[in-house]
Structure 1
Amino acid sequence: MSNEHHARTMLPIPDRPATGLTTYDAKDPETNFPPIEPLLPPKGAPNVLVILLDDVGFGASSAFGGPCQTPTAERLAAGGLRFNRFHTTALCAPTRQALLTGRNHHSVAMGSITETATSAPGQSSVRPNTKAPLPMTLKLNGYSTAQFGKCHEVPVWQTSPMGPFDAWPSGGGGFETFYGFIGGENNQYEPALYDGTTPVEPPATAEEGYHLTEDLTDRAVGWIRQQKALMPDRPFFVYYAPGATHAPHHVAKEWVDKYRGKFSHGWDVQREQTLARQKELGVVPADTELTPRHDVITAWDEMPDELKPVLERQMEVYAGFLEHTDNQVGRLVDALEDLEILDDTIVYYIIGDNGASAEGTMNGAFNEMANFNGMAALETAEFMLSKMDEFGSPTSYNHYSVGWAWAMNSPFQWTKQVASHWGGTRNGTIVHWPNGIEEAGGLRSQFTHVIDVAPTILEAAGLPEPAMVNGVQQAPIEGTSMLYAFNDQAADERHDLQYFEMFGNRGIYHRGWSAVTKHKTPWVMVGGEMPAFDADVWELYDGAGGDFSQARNLATEQPERLAQLQRLWLIEAVRYNVLPLDDRSAERVNPDLAGRPTLIQGDRQLFFPGMGRLSESSVVSIKNKSFSVTAEVEVPEAGARGVIIAQGGRFGGWAVYVTEDSHLKFVYNVLGIHEFSAVATEPLPAGKHQVRMELAYDGGGLAKGGDVSLYHDGTQVGHGRVEATQPMIFSADETTDIGYESGTSVTPDYDLHTSRFTGKLHWVQLDTGADDNDHFIDPEERLRVAMARQ
């Protein structure tokens, strides 16, 4: 091991002062200091571009036999390698943390998504500082680093604009540049964006042609060009994770219309067509069998005829969305080619962070939040038909049917979240690196996993795995470099043991064999009895014996082998903090029951004007209870208008605001389907006033309605009725804003540009579960509230 190689095991690399004669006068001929040399990786270290798409199944992309055209993926595959046994964790945040650290997802505390984190070591969502991320290692070795797109690895109590930013990409994540969004999904037309840790608004509107994926690509291309213009000798690490094709499936109509009528045969036939194409391409063995449809997935022929046009449109939108995304990846690849650096860039094109998503119910969804709130029944066939032409547009927050997700995972069983079966965890992956891969257009079938990406990049760059980062001793990387297979198709696979687990769905792979058990169905989000873990039925599959798709269950024929693999799963589960298994739903959403911190405590919250981009976890919950909003405002003689406080947006939320004619108004928007309002009978007078809205919740269960009262200075000026409320969540991306509204608007009464309050807003107070018979907050009470926060 060279001295330089050894020195790089401790990061930052310790400075070594120059030795030799120190002169008194710099003009002395004996004065001699070595020139300052910038830190660079070892000579020959390549650029790295990691592309991670979202919610794309193995059988979706045309590069792996699917119906969605992905010419960029095909182009990269023709010049590089397809890996047809590459695996993820079955869910987004765990896959991303595993990718960026080279460790198993429970090992880095990301057993599920951040929103369901618990205090268990494998589930806390807090990455141990003993497992530094790859971009940090690369940055401390002289790489330029940048991320564009989705970051779903920040603990929910750290997602407000105040941080702390340890887990943010440009905070403690090792990326010098970040442009994208924090969370699981985002509106492609009106996203909540961050530039570093600063909230920013999109540079254009949907009406002006804005689309998030295009914006992210513009930023990535611009950054790469500038980096190479200013630092041509310094390699870069770019992580491009656009958030597409996660729901909502948003794309312009011209991309959707390319696929009009191409899915009228339905999902059962689509799976047959996909498998035939996969065999023709050679991305699956010729003897691969199509796995059967499970009873909980409805056959296409059994779906209601009146719904089928909507179901077809859902898949047309998705296909257009994926092709559009691949087109944007193409722009990125073209930029590398134009700069003449494509040959010396390792491009990882990972087509999906898990299997295709079955979170849209059997009928699909115009607004996916309906199912997340247990209110999918509101989206009737009649309603869906009335919205059919809006799917994919800015007025939709759509998802496709479970049936299409299942088909997009062909030829495998199950979908995203089901970590037991390959339908949830196998994702087509392409590696392109002409300077390091001799064979163009090759296929690699060694078992690989997302934790293998980090050690591959380190080996390709000639960098050692760090033993110390920022003064903290590091735990070993758990992945296996894939470099050995790049130029040896017949090489024995080196990653021959891997556990899987997500929400109790679990499996183990060992030397060709897999033992698996499904525990929980992804689209059953509310209700449903969970079986005991020991009651789950395990299956056994022989991949080494030719069962590529897990089609032939050998559990009854080989019970001893099954028992051995079950025991091996348990050993790995203990080793990587998988235990205790946790299949809870509502309990994990509740921070108190889950044992994770919350940013806000108690039943009262005080806001000031200009505060915004507050995620739902950053605001006291008003769901399923009475609540009030009180604000002190100053109204000019000409009157005022605009938002006092708004939470959520077009697809669900509420707002207290002043109308164009200076009337206080409250609107509660249920999933973009029903809107309930109350408006004051008289305008708000000029001067300083206290305005108040009270909702008296009916009680008796979740999602009930309530009576609304409006007040000026403690005097009632209006009333109304909310017939239903959202019990679980307003949005995955919309926020709470004070004195304005970002993102989409709760009501069409105002928009992003007219939402800002034109009077003077002093403060806003949100109270839950408490009655105030005075309907007024006096100065002494305000003082007590303020002092209680000290």
Structure 2
Amino acid sequence: MEVYATLTESADFEVGRLVDGLKGLGMLDNTLIFYIFGDNGGSVVGDLNGTFVEWSSLNGAPEDVPYLLSRLKEYGTENSYPNYAVGWAMAGSTPATLGITFSSGGGIMSGMVVQWPAGIKSKGEKRRQYTHLIDVVPTILDAVGIPAPKVVNGVEQLPMPGVSMRYSFDNGNAPERHRVQYTETAGNRSIYQDGWLAATIHSALWEPKLRTDDFSKDKWELYNLREDFGQATDLSAQFPQKLEQMQALFIEEARKNNVFPLDDRRAERLNPEVAGRADIMYGRKELTLYPGMPGLTENSFINTKSVSHTITAELEIPKGGATKGVVMSQAGMFGGWSLYVVDGRPKYTYNWLAREHYVIESHDPLPSGHVTLVYDFKYDGGGQHKGGTGTLYVNGKKVAEGRIAKTMGSLYSLAAETANIGEDAYSPVTNDYDPWDNAFTGTIAKVTIKSQ
């Protein structure tokens, strides 16, 4: 939690620099600023003990207390990507309960400050009208004075949801305009209407099992937010008819917004191949990359998680001198993989959650001229997060082989790490090369990744 507090202080300081910069340029008065404190309340991703690498438990590898203590001195350094424990998440959501992934309490509440000196006469006042994140863009469009686009590049747009909050800027007593809002996250559901909130908890990330195995068995609660902002008093027994009306409203809104069918899987949904969720690469088994194509995010890159796959690089190795640098990499120091060359020798490293590094390397340097470098991974199967065998080939000849005992089957990163050809951008997968100066010194014609 100390690390989180430091981050919060740093963010506040940097936002202050931005505001001072706008003021110095004479632009602050006519700049509309939305400053939202977090996304979904306290983060429960840290499990009961907290984590050193945030996505460890999401990859089926929770970190126990002895391991956390062994990394304690690294917390807050560039070598850590921690998340505080569930208890701190609950404290951080006070006066509400719960946190991120829930559809009630701290899971759907965040404070926000709006500043626009030229457009808002009121200063330092609070507003209690219900407002949702989807109201931000309509507010900006309203302030600028342009309508939401109906067609973009010839494609007809769905009506933009949300309500401009500008009506409340100078009238704290204005009747609420965002009157109904549904929320659903991994089976947790809620519905808001005119100050009332009905909600149910179907799943808690730190619990090994779902609360129920049937959505119809979920227990719903009812709160009057205008009298009970923190949602401490469940009124469902006192107002059963109101609860039934709200439950029916949720079904109506869920149908309208394509929420059904409900899906209560958790970490499994992070991997599109496992979830059956279409992304840009869904169903694609081959991808060819060329130099100058860096920065591919995880869901815009072919899947290499929990599957057998082959990476084939067509290279030109110059004569004389030791070739070095990254041929292809994905993600970074908290999990990922890299195919690279050190002192002329090809090498592959799989970084498992910054805990273990599996290295496969050739003892012989690459020959000069045209080289086909292949990394072939045979996955053991049997579900996610299992191991496999990796083999390196140079011009069709096997030059190295090794076991990768564990893999990350849900995701490589929640920190915007990317796949890169010819370099390892952002944080490095391995310490075998410089974090910033690691470009391949030979020539890459293309790299092809095939998955099975």
Is TM > 0.5 for Structure 1 vs Structure 2?
A: yes
Give the 3 Å change call, closer, same or farther, for CA 530–744 of structure 1 in structure 2: farther
Question: How far apart, CA to CA, are the structure 1 residues paired with 2:310 and 2:156?
Answer: 50
Give deviations 1:403-424, integer Å, cap 9, x for gaps.
21211110112111212x1311
Q: For 2:21, give the aligned amino acid.
A: A
Give deviations 1:622-663, integer Å, cap 9, x for gaps.
333433333343331334222222222211122222212x22
SS in 2 for 1:389: helix
SS in 2 for 1:540: strand
Give 1:679's aligned residue: 361
Judge conservation of contact 2:212–2:218 (CA < 8 Å) in 1: no
Question: How far apart, CA to CA, are the structure 2 residues paired with 1:512 and 1:535?
Answer: 25
Judge conservation of contact 2:315–2:370 (CA < 8 Å) in 1: yes
Question: How far apart, CA to CA, are the structure 1 residues paired with 2:383 and 2:251?
Answer: 40
Question: How far apart, CA to CA, are the structure 1 residues paired with 2:120 and 2:286?
Answer: 60
Judge conservation of contact 2:60–2:385 (CA < 8 Å) in 1: no
Judge conservation of contact 2:290–2:421 (CA < 8 Å) in 1: yes
Matched, 1:396 2:77: no
Matched, 1:452 2:138: no
Give the 3 Å change call, closer, same or farther, for CA 542–644 of structure 1 in structure 2: closer
Question: Percent identity over the alignment?
Answer: 40
List alignment gaps of at least 5 residues for structure 1. Answer: 1-314, 770-790
Matched, 1:568 2:252: no
* Structure number with higher strand proportion: 2
Give 2:330's aligned residue: 647
Let me know the Cα RMSD of the aligned residues.
2.9
Name which of 102, 127, 131 aligns with 1:418: 102
Question: How far apart, CA to CA, are the structure 1 residues paired with 2:389 and 2:136?
Answer: 55
Matched, 1:706 2:388: yes
Give 1:407's aligned residue: 91
Give 1:535's aligned residue: 217
Give 1:342's aligned residue: 28
Q: For 1:551, give the aligned amino acid.
A: A
Give the 3 Å change call, closer, same or farther, for CA 574–602 of structure 1 in structure 2: closer
User: After superposition, where does 1:175-574 map in structure 2 within 5 Å?
Assistant: 315-376=1-62, 379-419=63-103, 421-461=104-144, 463=145, 465=147, 468-469=150-151, 478-523=161-206, 528=210, 531-544=213-226, 546-574=227-255
Question: How far apart, CA to CA, are the structure 2 residues paired with 1:676 and 1:474?
Answer: 47
Q: For 2:134, give the aligned amino acid.
A: I
Give 2:374's aligned residue: 692
Question: How far apart, CA to CA, are the structure 2 residues paired with 1:451 and 1:506?
Answer: 18
Question: How far apart, CA to CA, are the structure 1 residues paired with 2:284 and 2:337?
Answer: 21
Give the 3 Å change call, closer, same or farther, for CA 453–557 of structure 1 in structure 2: same
Question: How far apart, CA to CA, are the structure 2 residues paired with 1:334 and 1:623?
Answer: 45
SS in 2 for 1:368: coil
Name which of 591, 603, 615 aligns with 2:297: 615
Name which of 291, 300, 308 aligns with 1:626: 308
Question: How far apart, CA to CA, are the structure 1 residues paired with 2:124 and 2:253?
Answer: 35
Give the 3 Å change call, closer, same or farther, for CA 528–551 of structure 1 in structure 2: closer
Give the 3 Å change call, closer, same or farther, for CA 763–355 of structure 1 in structure 2: same
Structure of higher CA gyration radius: 1
Judge conservation of contact 1:647–1:653 (CA < 8 Å) in 2: yes
**CA-CA distance at 1:373 after TM superposition:** 0.7
User: After superposition, where does 1:71-90 map in structure 2 within 5 Å?
Assistant: none
Give the 3 Å change call, closer, same or farther, for CA 686–495 of structure 1 in structure 2: closer
Give 1:581's aligned residue: 262
Judge conservation of contact 2:285–2:451 (CA < 8 Å) in 1: yes
Give 1:52's aligned residue: none
Judge conservation of contact 2:121–2:170 (CA < 8 Å) in 1: yes
Give aligned pairs, total. Answer: 448
Give the 3 Å change call, closer, same or farther, for CA 458–668 of structure 1 in structure 2: closer
SS in 2 for 1:730: coil
Give 1:301's aligned residue: none
Question: How far apart, CA to CA, are the structure 1 residues paired with 2:269 and 2:116?
Answer: 46
Q: Which stretch of the first structure deviates more once superposed, 335-344 or 422-431?
A: 335-344
Give the 3 Å change call, closer, same or farther, for CA 630–594 of structure 1 in structure 2: closer
Give the 3 Å change call, closer, same or farther, for CA 467–598 of structure 1 in structure 2: closer
Judge conservation of contact 2:148–2:160 (CA < 8 Å) in 1: no
Judge conservation of contact 1:639–1:685 (CA < 8 Å) in 2: no
Question: How far apart, CA to CA, are the structure 2 residues paired with 1:334 and 1:577?
Answer: 43
Question: How far apart, CA to CA, are the structure 1 residues paired with 2:303 and 2:387?
Answer: 16
Give deviations 1:17-52, integer Å, cap 9, x for gaps.
xxxxxxxxxxxxxxxxxxxxxxxxxxxxxxxxxxxx
Q: Which stretch of the first structure deviates more once superposed, 667-676 or 385-394?
A: 385-394
**CA-CA distance at 1:748 after TM superposition:** 0.8
Give the 3 Å change call, closer, same or farther, for CA 510–608 of structure 1 in structure 2: closer
Give 1:722's aligned residue: 404
Q: For 2:24, give the aligned amino acid.
A: D
Judge conservation of contact 2:279–2:299 (CA < 8 Å) in 1: no
Judge conservation of contact 1:710–1:719 (CA < 8 Å) in 2: yes
Give the 3 Å change call, closer, same or farther, for CA 684–401 of structure 1 in structure 2: same
Question: How far apart, CA to CA, are the structure 1 residues paired with 2:151 and 2:309?
Answer: 48
Give the 3 Å change call, closer, same or farther, for CA 490–665 of structure 1 in structure 2: closer
Question: How far apart, CA to CA, are the structure 1 residues paired with 2:400 and 2:122?
Answer: 74
Question: How far apart, CA to CA, are the structure 2 residues paired with 1:615 and 1:593?
Answer: 18
Q: For 1:508, give the aligned amino acid.
A: I
Question: How far apart, CA to CA, are the structure 2 residues paired with 1:657 and 1:483?
Answer: 53
Question: How far apart, CA to CA, are the structure 2 residues paired with 1:617 and 1:472?
Answer: 23
Give deviations 1:727-775, integer Å, cap 9, x for gaps.
2222232222223222222211112444222223334343444xxxxxx
Question: How far apart, CA to CA, are the structure 2 residues paired with 1:600 and 1:684?
Answer: 35
**CA-CA distance at 1:319 after TM superposition:** 0.8
Q: For 1:673, give the aligned amino acid.
A: R
SS in 2 for 1:581: coil
SS in 1 for 2:126: strand
Give the 3 Å change call, closer, same or farther, for CA 460–694 of structure 1 in structure 2: closer
SS in 1 for 2:28: coil
Give the 3 Å change call, closer, same or farther, for CA 539–679 of structure 1 in structure 2: same
Judge conservation of contact 1:709–1:720 (CA < 8 Å) in 2: yes
Q: For 1:554, give the aligned amino acid.
A: L
Question: How far apart, CA to CA, are the structure 2 residues paired with 1:768 and 1:479?
Answer: 41
SS in 1 for 2:330: strand
Question: How far apart, CA to CA, are the structure 1 residues paired with 2:386 and 2:274?
Answer: 23
Q: For 2:94, give the aligned amino acid.
A: S
* Structure ranking higher on relative contact order (CA contacts 8 Å, 6+ apart): 1
Give the 3 Å change call, closer, same or farther, for CA 610–340 of structure 1 in structure 2: closer
SS in 2 for 1:720: strand
Judge conservation of contact 1:744–1:751 (CA < 8 Å) in 2: no
Give the 3 Å change call, closer, same or farther, for CA 530–681 of structure 1 in structure 2: farther
**CA-CA distance at 1:536 after TM superposition:** 0.9
Q: Which stretch of the first structure deviates more once superposed, 721-730 or 316-325?
A: 721-730
* Structure number with higher helix proportion: 1
Question: How far apart, CA to CA, are the structure 2 residues paired with 1:692 and 1:705?
Answer: 19
Give the 3 Å change call, closer, same or farther, for CA 667–559 of structure 1 in structure 2: same
Give the 3 Å change call, closer, same or farther, for CA 566–704 of structure 1 in structure 2: closer
Give the 3 Å change call, closer, same or farther, for CA 405–748 of structure 1 in structure 2: same
Question: How far apart, CA to CA, are the structure 2 residues paired with 1:613 and 1:688?
Answer: 26
